[in-house]
Chain A
Amino acid sequence: MPSRLFARPGRRIVTVAMLAAGLIAGAGSVWASKSDNTVRFAYDQAPESVDPYFNNVRIGVIIGANVWDTLVYRDSITNEYKGNLAKSWKQIDERTIEFDLREGVKFHNGEEFDADSVVYTLNFVADPANKVTTQANVNWIEKAVKVSKYKVRVITKKVFPAAIEYLAGPVVMHPAKYYAEVGPKGMNAKPVGTGPFKVTQYTPGKSIRLERNADYFKDSPKGTPKIAKLEIRFIPDRQTQMAEALAGGTDFIMHVPKDQAEQAAKVPHLQVVSGETMRIVFMQFDTLEATPTAALKDIRVRKAISHAINREAIVKNIVGAGSRVLNTQCFPSQFGCTDEGAPRYAYDPALAKKLLAEAGYANGFDTELYAYRERNQTEAMINDLKAVGIRAKLNFSQYAAMRDAVRSNKAPMTHQTWGSFSVNDVSASTPVYFTFEADDVTHDAAVRDMLLKGNNSVDPAVRKQAYQQALKHIADNAYSLPLWSLPVYYVASKELSFSAYPDEMVRFWEMSWK
């Protein structure tokens, strides 16, 4: 749960500049955004596309939830499913769900929401030819069928109990006519949804401006948005974001590194909120035949790496409050996630060295570690690896570039993070990396089959058991090294009232000025 970080007794020096900054900022009233009821949000990554199906970055998910709506809504506190664009739904058979749609909902361009919207959107994204970026979110859909103007059926390829979770998360509804006409490119250029905010201006790579949707349907579980305008700017440099926050140029930033957040908490006009998120951190090993580092194909080497990295120390010193060490590659709150029976790889450099020697790498080996965020964590891991003789060269790049390197077999080891698109079900995390999809660099058929069994069974007990077996199998073989869960630190204007959720979703429709 979120914990507020007020003046934490720090042994570190607060520089003169910071104090001065705080005093002046506190004294000066630059609350222009409060007076015109605008929230200015800065984020470091520009999405490749605003269309939620064509990006897989966090900011895309956030924009998706604020501009679009889904058929179902998962309550952010109770996790209970509620009707959103659908009033109600019922399971027709193992693979079919029927939705009764809400009437009178309009898209931002005036187009009416009805069964056609659902049918067109789902059939479009489910078609592999349309190359949706977020395949894992949609590849369970076989098709959607219109029953009547406000009744629609969604048919899954296999039995897929997590369907509702996905339909409450990343699977947003596009306007049929508009989407058919302009396609994903047009949707990116001029996004149109039914959500609480509508896009008024989008400059790729620079900023996106949103405005409260005055005609937002009253019965939405999201509620009516309170802030009038929202400005999201893409500022790649974290320190520029922090500078904006200190200077009062933005009202809200997230993913602030632990050290900075702790210091920012001492600035009078800022508040810092932190909490654990569903984002998990893990180290991916390329164990395929074509791996750039052959040593990784040896289980002893992978185990040695697992023992070499001092996860507790890194979590305590660098990752920060609200983080815990993980033993399986999923987030504990996700349905099916467990570390029961999975081995614990304790920090033991001597053992790591021994394992390496057994594997024939007494003198260690050279390899590369790809990473795209939290470089200090990567560097700490490189340091630990070096201590046991593994010389890992850092290759730090943007996410898209790193992902391409993984997918094209160029990255032997990768410092990955995964936020599961805020889907609270293991099917959204582990299977992404172990079911022979693009990001799978293991290709273990046994693991795949167990995971798919978990994905595609109705009985929760069966699912749980399948997932547990898969997770244990992965851990036994050290196919990847689960590291820790990532806390998120939000730094915001003290005047802004908002809540932080473990799903890393920023709910602007709930925000308001004090």
Chain B
Amino acid sequence: MHIYMLKRLGLAVLVALAVSMIAFGLLRLSGDPAIAIAGEGATQADIVLVRQTYGFDRPLPVQYAEWLGRTLRGDLGESIYFKTPAAPLILSKLQTTLVLGLLSLAFALVISVPLGVLAALYRNSWIDRLCLGLAVIGQALPNFFFALLLIMLFSIVLHWLPVSGSDSWQHFIMPTVALGYYAAPAFMRLIRAGMIEVLDADYIRTARAKGLPASTVIFKHALRNAVVPVVALTAVQLGYLLGGSVVVETIFALDGLGYLAYQSITFKDFPVMQSIVLLLSVIYVVLTLASDVANAWLDPRIRVA
């Protein structure tokens, strides 16, 4: 267990390093960062000064090492557009996005778990086909299009929900649905497949032979074993949801990381853009690590070895 975890931790650190290199490279892709940082109207002397101050004249590996050092200390540079330090700016938006991501994940699970269980219980019946049909249709609907349809229906026609913003819980309903529904089919398929496999297992027959009610059999004995792969997917999906929030946050003008990312990309605000890519990647790495731990914990065969 401990060795396994140490190995996973080592891999996570390596991946994070690789991602940081890519994020570092991303900024270099944009050309001379000194010109961008010096801002418009800067003279050649200003640019040279910036280049020296930031060390852009030194070899790339040295620059990378220094940049990594600063990043690790929490110094993400300064937003070129908003002219404030990038780290607090990003952190101030992170909460909204995390809330949105978790809500969407919860929403996806809330629809996919019952549907997946139902489809597995009544496999090959019309219920099963309906659930699978919903999944295929759900995955075919582009989320930006779906988001606009939601606005159209719930804000314009029905007047039930606010269109944009992030001030109250009502503001989160449509973004949550628009972001979360897309993750649901994957969960549903996985839960269905897992449940089908588990429901055929001998220990389910044992549980039924014990006279346990169907709910206990399904939710205690079956689902518990079927969710193990779901936990791994949860981490992956949360990562996707955080990344995918760019589209949804922009449409709903939800003041989160995705919206900031979109703004920074359109304003060519490289330090912010780079930091968000790095931050989301690191979050993903941490999430997968956490899911490995959770998986090991959920499966006694790994936990109690």
Contact = CB atoms under 8 A, between A and B. Distances in A.
| A touching B, CB within 8 angstroms | yes
Interface of A: 17, 20-21, 24-25, 28, 30, 46, 48-49, 54, 131, 135, 184-185, 188-189, 203-207, 233-237, 239-240, 243-244, 246-249, 397-398, 400-401, 403-404, 407-408, 438
**3 pairs of A and B residues whose beta carbons are closest in the complex:** A206-B255, A247-B155, A235-B253
Contacts of A239: 148
| Of B89, B159, B252, B255, most A-chain CB atoms within 10 Å | B159
Nearest to A243: B163
11 contacts: A21-B157, A24-B157, A25-B159, A188-B84, A236-B250, A240-B151, A240-B163, A243-B155, A243-B156, A246-B155, A247-B155
| Of A25, A189, A239, A240, most B-chain CB atoms within 10 Å | A240
A207 B166 CA distance: 11
Interface string B72-91: 00000000011110000100
A188 B81 CA distance: 12
Contact of B164 (A30, A189, A235, A401): A235
B266 A398 contact: yes
B29 interface: no
Nearest to B155: A247
Contacts of A247: 155-156, 159, 162-163
B156 A233 contact: no
A249 B83 contact: no
| Of A21, A235, A247, most B-chain CB atoms within 10 Å | A247
B81 A400 contact: yes
Nearest to B166: A206
Contacts of A205: 82, 255, 259-260, 263
Contacts of B263: 46, 205, 236
Contacts of A54: 83
Contacts of A184: 83
B154 to A, nearest CB: 9
B158 interface: yes
B81 A48 contact: yes
B18 interface: no
Interface string B6-20: 000000000000000
Nearest to B157: A20
A133 to B, nearest CB: 8
Nearest to B256: A206
Given A17-B157, A30-B159, A135-B41, A237 B266 contact: no
B84 A249 contact: no
Given A204-B84, A247-B163, A131 B39 contact: yes
Nearest to B39: A131
A234 B250 CA distance: 11
| Of B89, B155, B164, most A-chain CB atoms within 10 Å | B164
B165 interface: yes
Contacts of B200: none
A189 B39 contact: no
B83 A185 contact: yes
B251 interface: yes
Nearest to B43: A128
A401 B83 contact: no
A252 to B, nearest CB: 15
B268 interface: yes
Nearest to B78: A185
Contact of B156 (A246, A401, A407): A246
Nearest to B264: A205
B152 interface: yes
Contacts of B155: 243, 246-247, 249
Contacts of A249: 155, 162-165
B202 interface: no
A237 B260 CA distance: 14
Given A239-B148, A400-B268, 18 more contacts: A48-B82, A131-B39, A185-B84, A204-B82, A207-B255, A233-B165, A235-B164, A236-B253, A236-B262, A240-B164, A240-B253, A243-B156, A243-B164, A247-B155, A249-B162, A249-B165, A398-B267, A438-B40
B266 A397 contact: yes
Contact of A233 (B84, B151, B251, B253): B253
A397 B262 CA distance: 12
| Of B151, B155, B165, most A-chain CB atoms within 10 Å | B165
A203 B84 CA distance: 12
B300 to A, nearest CB: 47
Given A48-B81, A131-B39, A237-B251, A244 B164 contact: yes
A54 B81 CA distance: 11
A191 B251 CA distance: 29
A251 to B, nearest CB: 13
A184 B84 CA distance: 11
A256 to B, nearest CB: 15
Contacts of B250: 236-237
Nearest to A240: B164
Given A17-B156, A204-B89, A247-B163, A240 B83 contact: no
B239 to A, nearest CB: 24
A411 to B, nearest CB: 13
Nearest to B36: A404
A438 B81 contact: no
Nearest to A204: B82
A220 B157 CA distance: 44
Contacts of B260: 205
| Of A30, A46, A397, A400, most B-chain CB atoms within 10 Å | A400
A46 B268 CA distance: 14
Nearest to A403: B40
A253 to B, nearest CB: 12
Contacts of B151: 240, 243
Nearest to A399: B267
A404 B163 contact: no
Contacts of A28: 159
Contacts of A401: 266-268
Contacts of A397: 266
A260 to B, nearest CB: 13
Contacts of B156: 17, 20-21, 243, 246-247
| Of B148, B152, B163, most A-chain CB atoms within 10 Å | B163
B81 to A, nearest CB: 5
Contacts of A400: 81, 267-268
A203 B82 CA distance: 11
